[in-house]
Amino acid sequence: MNTELNNKIESTLNSFNEMDRAEVQPFFQTRLMARLSKEYEINNNNWFTVKKPVWIIAALFVLLIANTIMLTQENKPANSINNKPESILQGFANEYNLSSTINY
């Protein structure tokens, strides 16, 4: 390698030596605060954003309990007379003073 090329390379490698620190454009802080408040506004308005996994687990647990209750209620034998369709319809007719008789 010749000396001239060597010097050129070394001088290029040292070209950062006297550099000053680059500074942000004026009002950087104002732009940052505007962006920060905008991002927080978006996050706060998002109803579907679940912040902690514990809430997801709790919601799933509640759904599981509700489903279990529904299923056990469905499987119970309907032996009470009040559960018969005729009596339900009759009760409905009585409540609204419907005079017509229900025929099947």
Partner 1 sequence: MLNDPAFIELLKQRNEQAFTQLVEAYQHLVYNTVLGIVQHNEEAEDISQEVFIQVYQSIYDFRGEAKLSTWIYRIAITKALDWERKKKSKKRIDTLKNMIGIRTQEEISITDFHHPGITLQNKESASVLFKALKQIPDNQRIAFVLIKTEGLSYQEVSDIMQTSIKSIEALMHRAKENLRKILQHYYSA
Q: How far is the CB of 34 from partner 1 (least distance, A)?
A: 10
Q: CA 21: distance to chain centroid?
A: 42
Closest to 46 in 3D by CA, of 54, 56, 38, 34:
38
Sole binder of partner 1 in the list 19, 54, 78, 81 (CB under 8 A): 19
Is the Cβ–Cβ distance between 104 and 85 less than 8 Å? Answer: no
Q: How far is the CB of 16 from partner 1 (least distance, A)?
A: 4
Q: Under 8 Å CB-to-CB from 104, ≥6 apart: which residues?
A: 86
Q: Is 27 in the site for partner 1 (CB under 8 A)?
A: no
User: Residues interacting with partner 1, by CB under 8 A?
Assistant: 1, 5, 8-9, 11-13, 15-25, 28-29, 31-33, 35-36, 39
